């Protein structure tokens, strides 16, 4: 059976249309989901997530000791932690909140990798005291802070050093992270100094290896393979200059997904296989022992699994012919279009067989910003009460959502084989004011 790579499809792998023209995901009728749970609604397809995990694992299987790391920042809740554990993946976290979520879900501490360019002292204390998480150090000053905290705790911090490989992928400039002027990582010409400090503080620092990450939503293979070669050179230099044989290698990732038909990302299986093969050949060519290989497939695991459902409110046609379809969500549940100019594919979920419109309409949100446009050119016709499905919203929608205009964030449901279960509850008006406090002097 061929390996399915969900990141090459716009819709979830279980998406289909029934005899009524309704969109089904995970054998759940999206119209019934909207009626039961309300809209806006994030729908996560469990099978799409699991198939992405299987494709990744199969691609990496040619390497003797490899593991994928899931990007918690893309989408994280306790249910997702359980799925990541089920897939045998590690988990990248970037805050104390993400670490807390993972540990509360019972996620293995030794499979947590702590990222971020400005980790706070409490966050580092939390990670080191947990005795298991690996800290991806971003600077010399952070390394020194880790050593100090470890000494105070009479512990030993498990460390990888993030380097700047000076490789730029094919993606939006806001999500490129591997270029020479990136805010993330240690410049290559400063790496020797950082390694020397780590060796000098070996009682507090257990230096496990190096990490690099070139960006997010990259669709081409070549930048990833180039990064592997750069890291292999650094491991050769670490052996020659510092007599270090690192046991771990994290080559990063950030593989892209298909948002619109024009997107042609490398399939997750092919990406993982090529990265694994490149690592094997690069380390063999340099006479190095093979470290445990870690890869970060990024949004490609969760992005294709998500679909956002909206209900159409008012529609209008302007004198210049522009059609507007207003829905009950927008930039508060999906800030990516207004932030990155991100593009999405949308369909009318209750009339999937209605065909496309010859002229485009703009699907706009309900928020008080002119830039609150979800899909600028959607070739569909919709009327009040229709259900709009926007695909590939599994990554960076919930995690970047806000309470703009004092609105509650939507619910999120996980669907599988006809079953739909809430994994994140909808925020209520009471939730919105739960942290408000009024000084006594203002109470009249």
Greater confidence (70 vs 321) lies with 70
Residue 169, pLDDT score: 53
Give the per-residue pLDDT at 184: 78
* Sole residue written with tokens 């790391």: 69
* pTM, two decimal places: 0.94
Among 77, 81, 146, 368, which one carries the catalytic annotation?
Answer: 368
**8 Å CB contact between 23 and 289:** no
Give the CATH number of domain 46-301; options: 3.30.920.30, 3.50.50.60, 3.20.20.10, 3.30.10.20: 3.20.20.10
- For the cut 70, the answer to whether the pLDDT of residue 175 exceeds it is no
Cβ-based neighbours of 101, under 8 Å, separated by 6 or more: 72, 76, 77, 78, 81
Residue 396's contacts (CB-CB under 8 Å, 6 or more residues apart) are 73, 74, 75, 299, 336
The answer on pLDDT for 180 being more than 90 is: no
412 is catalytic: no
Q: In the chain, which segments carry CATH 3.20.20.10?
A: 46-301
pLDDT at position 176 is 43
Q: Which residue has the higher pLDDT, 198 or 357?
A: 198
Span 3-22, pLDDT tens digits: 899 999 999 999 999 999 99
pLDDT at 172: 39
* Overall average pLDDT of the 211-237 stretch: 89
pLDDT in tens, 290-343: 999 999 999 999 999 999 999 999 999 888 878 999 999 999 999 999 998 999
| Domain 6-44+304-433 in this protein, CATH class | mainly beta
Mean of pLDDT values over 217-243? 91
Mention every residue, 6+ apart, whose C-beta is less than 8 A from residue 161: 136, 137, 143, 186, 191, 194, 195, 198, 207, 209, 210, 211
pLDDT: which is higher, 139 or 172: 139
Q: Which residues pair with 67 in a beta bridge?
A: 294
* Mean pLDDT computed over every residue of the chain: 94
* Residue 171: pLDDT band with limits 50, 70, 90: very low
pLDDT at 174 over 80: no
pLDDT in tens, 365-375: 999 999 999 99
Q: How far is the C-alpha of 240 from the C-alpha of 75, rounded, in Å?
A: 40
Residue intervals of the chain classified under CATH 2.40.37.10 are: 6-44+304-433
Looking at residue 181, what is its pLDDT?
A: 55
* Residue 354: band (very low, low, confident or very high) from pLDDT cuts 50, 70, 90: confident
What pLDDT was estimated at residue 247?
A: 98
Averaged over 278-286, what is the pLDDT? 98
Q: Inform me whether the pLDDT recorded for 221 exceeds 90.
A: no
């Amino acid at each position: 059976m061929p390996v399915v790579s969900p990141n090459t499809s716009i819709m979830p792998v279980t998406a289909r249309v029934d005899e009524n023209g309704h969109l089904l995901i995970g054998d759940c009728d999206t119209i019934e989901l909207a009626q039961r749970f309300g809209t806006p609604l994030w729908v996560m397809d469990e099978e799409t997530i699991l198939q992405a995990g299987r494709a990744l694992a199969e691609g990496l299987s040619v390497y003797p000791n490899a593991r994928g790391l899931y990007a918690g920042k893309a989408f994280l809740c306790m249910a997702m932690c359980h799925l990541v554990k089920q897939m045998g993946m590690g988990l990248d976290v970037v805050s104390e909140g993400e670490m807390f979520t993972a540990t509360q879900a019972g996620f293995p501490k030794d499979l947590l990798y702590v990222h971020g360019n400005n980790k706070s002292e409490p966050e580092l204390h939390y990670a080191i005291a947990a005795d298991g998480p690996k800290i991806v150090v971003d600077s010399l000053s952070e390394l020194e802070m880790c050593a100090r905290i470890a000494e105070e705790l009479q512990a030993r911090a498990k460390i990888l050093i993030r380097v700047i490989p000076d490789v730029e992928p094919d993606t939006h400039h806001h999500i490129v992270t591997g270029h020479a002027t990136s805010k993330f990582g240690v410049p290559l010409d400063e790496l020797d100094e950082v390694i020397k400090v780590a060796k000098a503080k070996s009682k507090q620092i257990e230096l496990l290896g190096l990490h690099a990450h070139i960006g997010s939503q990259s669709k081409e293979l070549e930048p990833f393979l180039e990064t592997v070669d750069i890291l292999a050179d650094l491991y050769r230099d670490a052996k020659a200059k510092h007599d270090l044989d690192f046991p771990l290698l994290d080559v990063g990732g950030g593989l892209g997904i298909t948002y619109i038909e024009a997107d042609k990302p490398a399939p997750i299986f092919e990406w993982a296989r090529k990265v694994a093969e490149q690592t094997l050949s690069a380390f063999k060519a340099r006479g190095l022992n093979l470290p445990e290989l870690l890869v970060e497939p990024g949004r490609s695991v969760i992005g294709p699994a998500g679909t956002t459902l909206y209900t159409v409110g008012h529609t209008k046609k302007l004198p210049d012919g522009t059609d507007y379809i207003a829905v009950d969500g927008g930039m508060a549940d999906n800030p990516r279009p207004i932030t990155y100019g991100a593009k999405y594919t949308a369909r009318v979920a209750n009339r999937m067989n209605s065909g496309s419109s010859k002229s485009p309409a703009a699907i706009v949100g309900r928020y008080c910003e002119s830039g609150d446009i979800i899909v600028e050119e959607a070739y569909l016709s919709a009327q009040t009460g229709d259900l709009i499905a926007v695909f590939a919203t599994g990554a960076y929608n919930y995690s970047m959502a806000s309470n703009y205009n004092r609105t509650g964030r939507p619910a999120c449901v996980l669907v599988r084989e006809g079953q739909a279960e809430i994994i994140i509850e909808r925020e209520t008006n009471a939730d919105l004011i739960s942290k408000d406090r009024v000084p006594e002097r203002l109470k009249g």
